[in-house]
Amino acid sequence: MAKTRSEPRQQRSRQTYERILTVASRVFADLGYAGTTTNKVADAAGISIGTLYHYFPDKDALLSALAERHIADSLASHTTMFETMTATNQDLEETVRTAAEGLVALHIRDRHLHNLLYDSAPRTPQLLRQLREADDAIADQVALQFERLGVVTEHRRLVSQLVVSGMEAQVHHAVGSADAGREAMNPQVLTDLLTRMWTRALNSG
């Protein structure tokens, strides 16, 4: 379990805190969880180890803060996406395409951090709780879109959870396979495939 970290209150401290996190994200991406140490992050950030420890007592505290920031950014992106769906009154296929495009873009943009959180880092109870709460919040929004569209009238909440976890896993696997050199991945092709698959599945329900 990660030790308690210190949340900054003053603007200068906040800037230092955010700079450490930005550098830590790069170090984790380059070296992985096992290869990253607080000393390497401090060196890369150009600060003393004492300054880093003032905010983050160990690398798991760094990872926890990165997870919180990643989840907050993801939720903000999803909120904007759902607002667009509603404001433009998208039909089912357009709604699924918007969701697929957003998810693919998010995975590609944050691929290294995403892979770290889901594949490499220890799945602490705190991290699992954070990820689960984020998925639940997104599933709630998906259910509202189903209600707007008048689809999935039975087991709507369960289907929403399945769509969120299913599409997430599919995109994660496709982007991860491309990064590992196992299979080429064209974002537009992936978006088109996801749109066809999930539109067909939801229409049948």
pLDDT at 17 over 70: yes
At 186 the three-state DSSP class reads coil
Extents of the domains making up the chain: 67-204
Q: Are 97 and 165 in contact (CB under 8 A)?
A: no
DSSP 49-88: HHHHHHH-SSHHHHHHHHHHHHHHHHHHHHHHHHHHHHHT
Q: What is the pLDDT of residues 64-84, one digit of tens each?
A: 888 888 888 889 999 999 999
The CATH classification of domain 67-204, taken from the options 2.130.10.10, 3.60.150.10, 3.90.1150.10, 1.10.357.10: 1.10.357.10
Q: What is the pTM of this model?
A: 0.82
Q: Are 15 and 26 in contact (CB under 8 A)?
A: no
Higher pLDDT, 138 or 120: 138
DSSP 8: P
Q: What is the pLDDT of residues 169-205, one digit of tens each?
A: 999 888 877 665 666 678 999 999 999 999 999 998 6
Residue 124: pLDDT band (50, 70, 90) is confident
pLDDT at 2 over 60: no
